[in-house]
Each structure stands twice: as C-alpha cells, then as structure tokens.
Amino acid sequence: MARVGGRNLGVSWVAGVICAGVIGALLWFSLPMLPVLAEFAGETLRTVLP
C-alpha cells in the first residue's frame, strides 16, 4: 500500500502499527469471554448431540 502514488511510506507504516495495536487491544479485551464461549459451545453440543 505504501507504493501507491501519493502514499508516504512513513505514514503508512505508522498507520499499520496503530491498526495492529487496536486489533491487539481488542483481542486482549475479548480474552475474558473465552471461558464463557467454551461453556456455551459445550452446552450446545450436549443439547444437540445425544
């Protein structure tokens, strides 16, 4: 994306780092939900499969 006309390599690099940081933060905040999702999936499978 940095090689497209009118794009600055430094600005695109900084924007990429910021985007990666936002995605990392969202993943970090979603970690406490993993046990709840695992329990929900287990209960669903136990209900659907005899």
Going from N- to C-terminal start, the domains of the chain cover: 9-48
At residue 5, the pLDDT reads: 67
Rounded CA Rg of the chain: 20
Q: Element (H or E) spanning 48, and its range?
A: helix 34-48
At residue 12, the pLDDT reads: 85
At residue 31, the pLDDT reads: 95
pLDDT tens-digit map of 1-50? 556 667 788 888 999 999 999 999 999 999 999 999 999 999 999 999 87
At residue 4, the pLDDT reads: 62
CA separation for the pair 34, 38 (Å, rounded) = 6
Distances (CA, A) of 6 to 10, 12, 31, 33, 48: 12, 11, 39, 42, 55
At residue 44, the pLDDT reads: 93
